Amino acid sequence: PRLRHLFYQFARYVMLKDLEANSVGFDIPFAEAVEARPEDVHMAKARRRVAYNKLLQIFQKEEFVRQEHEQKAQ
């Protein structure tokens, strides 16, 4: 668990630095938005669940299409 947490912290740090570098000159403060803590934790968890499920559906659909293309190619 400690190693996983260390990797998470490192990945978050790298992501924030990348966002800071790429958001220079824009009016949208991406890095500040990432650092912000939600006021309603339950709502934030629900939104994360919805986004995760949507991403999972996209991956499943892509895999299905890839398998169909493989079958048709044979």
State how far the Cα of 40 lies from the Cα of 20, in Å rounded to an integer: 26
Asked if residue 26 and residue 56 are part of one domain, the reply reads no
Q: Are residues 51 and 69 in the same domain?
A: yes
For 5, the domain range is 1-36
Choose between 27 and 19: higher pLDDT. 19
* One domain for residues 28 and 41: no
Same domain? 50 vs 27: no
Span 6-29, average pLDDT? 74
The answer to whether residues 30 and 45 belong to one domain is no
Quote the number of domains for the chain. Answer: 2
Please determine, for residue 26, whether its predicted confidence score (pLDDT) is greater than 90: no
pTM: 0.45
**Cα gap 13→34, rounded to integer Å:** 11
Return the exposure string of 8-25: e unless at least 16 CB atoms fall within 10 Å of the residue's CB, then b.
eeeeeeeeeeebeeeeee
Q: Is the pLDDT of residue 70 over 70?
A: yes
pLDDT digits (tens, 9 = 90+) for 28-65: 555 566 666 667 778 878 888 888 888 888 889 999 99
Q: Are residues 45 and 59 in the same domain?
A: yes
